[in-house]
Amino acid sequence: MFEVYITKAAKFLPNEAVSNDEMESYLGLINDTASKARRIILRNNKILSRYYAVDKTGKSTHSNAELTRNAIVQLFDENFTAQDLEVLSCGTSTPDIFLPSHAAMVHGLLQNKSVELNSSTGVCCAGMNSLKFGFLSVRSGNSKNAVCTGSEKVSTWLIAKKYSQEVSNLKTLEEQPIIAFKKDFLRWMLSDGAGAFLLENKPSGDISLKIEWMEAFSYAFELETCMYAGGDKLENGEIKSWSDYEPEELLNESVFAIKQDVKLLDEFILSKGAESMYDAMIKNNITSDQVDYFIPHVSSNFFVEGLKKGLSEKGIGMADEKWFMNLSRVGNVGSASIYLAVEELMNSGKLKKGDRILLSVPESGRFSFAYAYLTVC
């Protein structure tokens, strides 16, 4: 077995940062009416800027595959070129097309040589799943290197004409912000971008991050679907697929809109997150004292205090100074978020050799959680 190191991290955020006041000029008005929920949602999530791969007319400026390619090419230099790449592992929630796979479309843009491909789907854990495939490939000796990515192009899923109605009960939103975590919540939360890691079997450069271990958990065996697109949820909890709808129903019922079961989200996302993180740390025999930087992907600042409480109750609380987040600056970019946070910290100049980093990524799709433990060397 070989050691595995993140030797380089890169990102691509399209166009210019979009402020809170500019969002509706990009995403449009539902029913020609300004969103009544937008300001409440933004106040709770505390996102100040994000990036969209569309212009103000709603026209795409980049595809998901292009965003990913643009992040990857920043990993190449005289020491590691496109011709040196052995494995390309790409994760996303929002591929440009159903078929071929996202990784195949990215590889087509790289135009380098034949490589091994892996495409990870899902929601936020798709990026961690793509990382684990690369990690296991290098660790096993199957390859000497791998490029792993997380990316999202969700803006064109969120434009107004693709939604039939919005959450509009302002009084209810004020009393219980969790109610806003439906279609309209997601319009003011999700955004575009891509991150990429170069994994190698030896350290390189000034800073490398050794991947000590990765763990993943799914609670789909006991919990219903929470976040979904391309279908709708029935009263019995099952999901009716888009392929079972009549053509006119696909738009009329917003079948392709991204949706969440807010009751399930509120009940389980934090409790299962604390449970799974406790299990990961116990299994690998680490304590909070052995973490110098904690990088959690959280969809909204709304959840931060609840997560802190849940971790403390499990005996794995992290001191505030250990938390590293860039949600307010780049937004919630789904499977790319953990890549963007690691890239920022890795290139910040703050890290010193021996520092230990714990990554935490939840996914509300059907409640999956992924973790990684890194050592700076």
Extract the tokens encoding 102. 């996202």
Handedness of CA 116, 120, 124, 128 (dihedral sign): negative
pLDDT at 32: 73
Per-residue pLDDT tens listing for the chain (377 residues): 999 999 999 999 999 999 999 999 999 887 677 887 888 889 999 999 999 999 999 899 999 999 999 999 999 999 999 999 999 999 999 999 999 999 999 999 999 999 999 999 999 999 999 999 999 999 999 999 999 999 999 999 998 877 654 444 445 545 554 444 455 678 899 999 999 999 999 999 999 999 999 999 999 999 999 999 999 999 999 999 999 999 988 877 788 888 888 889 999 999 999 999 999 999 999 999 999 999 999 999 999 999 999 999 999 999 999 999 999 999 999 999 999 999 999 999 999 999 999 999 999 999 999 999 999 99
Helical residues (DSSP H) of the chain, grouped into ranges:
23-27, 38-45, 64-72, 102-110, 125-140, 155-158, 170-175, 183-187, 247-252, 262-283, 304-313, 327-330, 337-346
pLDDT at 182: 55
Q: Are 193 and 67 in contact (CB under 8 A)?
A: yes
Q: Are 370 and 125 in contact (CB under 8 A)?
A: yes
The closest alpha carbon to 191, from 299, 74, 103, 304, belongs to 299
The 3-state DSSP class for residue 200 equals strand
Instruction: Measure the CA–CA gap between 281 and 358, rounded to whole angstroms.
Output: 10
The closest alpha carbon to 24, from 164, 188, 176, 181, belongs to 188
Instruction: Measure the CA–CA gap between 333 and 325, rounded to whole angstroms.
Output: 13
pLDDT at 174: 53
CATH 3.40.47.10 describes domain 5-205: yes
Spell out the domain ranges in the chain: 5-205, 210-220+260-376
pLDDT at 163: 64
Give CA torsion, residues 10, 124, 341, 81, to 10 deg: -10
Q: Are 326 and 340 in contact (CB under 8 A)?
A: yes
pLDDT at 172: 52
pLDDT at 285: 98
The closest alpha carbon to 229, from 189, 186, 266, belongs to 186
Instruction: Measure the CA–CA gap between 86 and 107, rounded to whole angstroms.
Output: 12
CATH 3.30.300.30 describes domain 210-220+260-376: no
Single-letter amino acid code for the residue at 159: I
Extract the tokens encoding 31. 């029913």
Q: How far is CA 31 from CA 126, 168, 251, 302, in A?
A: 33, 12, 14, 28
The reply to whether 210-220+260-376 shares the fold of 5-205 is yes
